[in-house]
Amino acid sequence: MKRALITLCAVAAVASLQSCKMKTADSVVSGDAASRVYVAPGKYDEFYNFVSGGFSGNVTVYGLPSGRLIKTIPVFSVFPENGYGYSEETKAMLNTTNGKVDWDDQHHLELSQTNGKQDGRWLFANANNTPRVARIDLTNFRTQEILQIPNSAGNHSSPFTTENTEYVVAGTRFSVPLGDADVPISSFKKNFKSTASFISVDKNSGHMKIAFQIVLPGMNLDLSHAGKGPSHDWFFFSCYNTEQAYTMLEVNASQKDKDFIVAVNWKKAEEYAKSGKGHIVPASYAHNTFDENTQKASTVMEKDVLTLDPKDCPDMIYMIPCPKSPHGADVDPTGEYIVGSGKLAALIPVFSFDKIQTAIKNKSFEGDFYGIPVIKYEAALHGEVKKPGLGPLHTEFDGKGNAYTSMFLSSEVVKWRLSDLQVLDRAPTYYSVGHIMIPGGDTREPSGKYLVAYDKITKDRYLPTGPELCQSAQLYDITGDKMQLLLDFPTTGEPHYGQGLPASMIKDKQVKYFDINKNHNEFVSMGEKKTKVVRTGNRVDVYMTAIRSHLTPDNIEGVFVGDEVYFHVTNLEQDWDIPHGFAIKNSPSVDLLIMPGETQSIKFSPVKQGIYPFYCTDFCSALHQEMSGYLRVSPKGANVPLKFGSGVIAPETAAK
């Protein structure tokens, strides 16, 4: 009996120890989460989720709610998988004033809007490192245009759009001197500037152009969002380092209690730009566009940019104090509330657009910052969300009067009400959440169904893979009072920010193949009979076709070491999902992936004699393995005539 009692006590002790153990992430998913994210074979996801690739330089596309990766869109980095940045057609997309830049750091995305709602036409993407803004066409999921931003460094506050995509903005994170001035770093206050570029977007073609650039005092612009409805004419940028530190920013840029939200009346700025208040200053930057007709990217080097100095443009800009090193600047669907998130602050300030307007009218200013009026904090404030969590970063909205803010330090998403600023719910994330996204959550019409958290750290979420782990995104159901974690899925690169839209909006607009009759690539072969090999000096142009399951020509001779051989491969197929690849042995670059009806070219300079097999790299058909050919490379000066063909076997030539 005594023994049994001791055993029982021991069991009880162990049990109580177990219950004392700190909470882990094991048991957070409850109920039928699996069935709510399960998209049965043959069924489609409900949303497209476009996710920033961070340091991968590309954009990835996931289906929601399944979290399945369905596409990688190369934007700012070369992409061996499909030859982006390697093919003669796409190389120019990566041109900059510093030559071809093959990598970047892709942080934010924004879908084009009409009347403050998503219109499913384009996706804009920023590049931080070599400041650029790209436009991706949502009918073919391809990068169509890349515009470099001059007078900028760390293009972080970008690319956010106005309600009718009148403008996409590009704001500087690192202040730099204008132009390429060589100045001491210690002359920061005098020489360093931050700029907010307003890129106009052509309504029909989507073509981008820097309409004007507002030159601001040296500081770090962080994020931005356009106004909506009543605040339509305005753009709000958060900024930090108004201390203007240029070394040890960790400490030196965190001294002030409040930095600012920069409120820009872009309508006024537009008027000033049109009425000649600006200065056209020299600036060189690359503008790359992909021409659908010729199927080729080309670069125009721009020569100047129109700058606006706030001194010359009264009523264009106001500063709103915002505690403390604000990160996000998010505008709610009604356009009335502007949420600033001080990443070092213990509260979330919410500003009222109405109050800002009244404050401007009554000149309720507490001073100025380099001549720009600073509105009194209380005069602009709707209220503060008290004790929301630690490290508020970004806020999105559900369209039902609620806001959701990501908390980087406390790794959670906090739901609160815009009207009375009460915290309603909080849900943990795993771990260190950055941006969050609700499809349409930054527009006038959020879908309010799912929220995705993009996390920086994933230790313990997936099978360990050595020291390098993937990042992750987490999906929450936000239809009820309480947020419910449904799924986490790994992502490529850093999933910095995302955009989501209902699949129905673009799924039926997808291009299935390119009409070969509209192929105006200068090296197209319209049919196998038009294939040829042309030598011009030491340049050899191979006009080749690909169709299931052969390449024409598939035997080429009379090419010499040191020649520059260009393979121009036209995919003759006119059917959905039948790309052909092209690769040649020892090619120092990569392969091509040619869509039906398309022509792509790749350069190959053989450095050694020999026989070089080439082949289709995309498993296209039952006879894919047979889809190959040979290039004979002879020593320089050899007496081998140029010969090519398919199906005609050349008589065997005796070895010399």
- Coil, strand, or helix at residue 292? coil
Work out whether 580 is an interface residue with Cu ion (CB under 5 A).
yes
β-strand 47-52 against 498-502: which pairing, if any? Answer: antiparallel
Interacting span for another protein (CB under 8 A) from 134-142, 165-173, 457-465, 618-626 = 618-626
CA–CA dist 224, 101 (Å, integer): 26
Region from 52-60, 214-222, 352-360, 570-578 binding another protein, contact rule CB under 8 A: 570-578
Q: Looking at beta carbons only, is 402 or 570 nearer to Cu ion?
A: 570
394 contact choice in Cu ion, another protein, none (CB below 5 to 8 Å, kind-dependent):
none
Q: What is the enclosing helix (H) or strand (E) of 397?
A: strand 392-397
Sign of the C-alpha dihedral computed for residues 460, 465, 469 and 474 taken in this order: negative
Contacted entry of Cu ion, another protein, none for residue 573, CB cut-off 5 to 8 Å set by kind: another protein
The binder of another protein chosen from 622, 648, 649, 655 (CB under 8 A): 622
Query: Should residue 574 be labelled a site residue for another protein when binding is judged by CB under 8 A?
Result: yes
Instruction: Please report, as residue ranges, which positions from 119 to 178 form the binding site for Cu ion (by CB under 5 A).
Output: none
What the block records as the tokens of 283 is: 């600036």
Task: For residue 557, give the nearest of 625, 638, 624, 654 by alpha carbon.
Answer: 638
316-335 residues in contact with another protein (CB under 8 A) are none
Confirm or reject binding of residue 621 to another protein (CB under 8 A). yes
DSSP letters, 543-585, are: EEEEETTEEES-EEEEEETT-EEEEEEEE---STT--EEEEET
With contact defined as beta carbons under 8 Å apart, do 565 and 544 qualify?
A: no
Dihedral of the alpha carbons of 310, 311, 315, 316, in degrees to the nearest 10: -10
Partner touching 627 among another protein, Cu ion, none, CB below 5 to 8 Å by kind: Cu ion
Q: What gap in Å lies between CA 202 and CA 199, rounded to an integer?
A: 10
Q: How far is the CB of 547 from another protein (least distance, A)?
A: 7
Tell me which stretch binds Cu ion (CB under 5 A): 328-336, 433-441, 609-617, 640-648. 609-617
Q: Is residue 593 close enough to count as binding Cu ion by CB under 5 A?
A: no
Q: Is 595 in the site for Cu ion (CB under 5 A)?
A: no
Judged by beta carbon, residue 125 or residue 546, the one nearer Cu ion is: 546
Q: Which is nearer to another protein, 366 or 575 (CB)?
A: 575
Quick one: what does residue 574 bind among Cu ion, another protein, none, with the CB cut-off 5 to 8 Å set by partner type?
Answer: another protein
Site membership for another protein, residue 207 (CB under 8 A): no
- With CB cut-offs between 5 and 8 Å by kind, which of Cu ion, another protein, none does residue 620 bind? Cu ion
Asked if residue 594 binds another protein (CB under 8 A), the reply is no
What are the DSSP calls for 595-641, one per residue? -TT-EEEEEE---S-EEEEEE--S--STTGGG-EEEEEEEPTT----
Between vectors from CA 437 to CA 433 and to CA 438, what angle results, nearest 5°? 140
Q: Which does 287 bind (CB under 5 to 8 A by kind): another protein, Cu ion, none?
A: none
| Percent helix, strand and coil across the chain, each to the nearest 5 | 10, 45, 40
Task: State which of residues 575, 613, 619, 625 lies at the interface with another protein (CB under 8 A).
Answer: 575
DSSP codes of every residue in 149-184: -SS-SSEEE---B-TTSSEEEEEESS-EESTT----
Nearer to another protein, 256 or 548 (CB): 548
Which residues make up the interface to Cu ion (CB under 5 A)? 580, 616, 620, 627
* Residues making contact with another protein (CB under 8 A): 547-549, 573-575, 621-623, 626
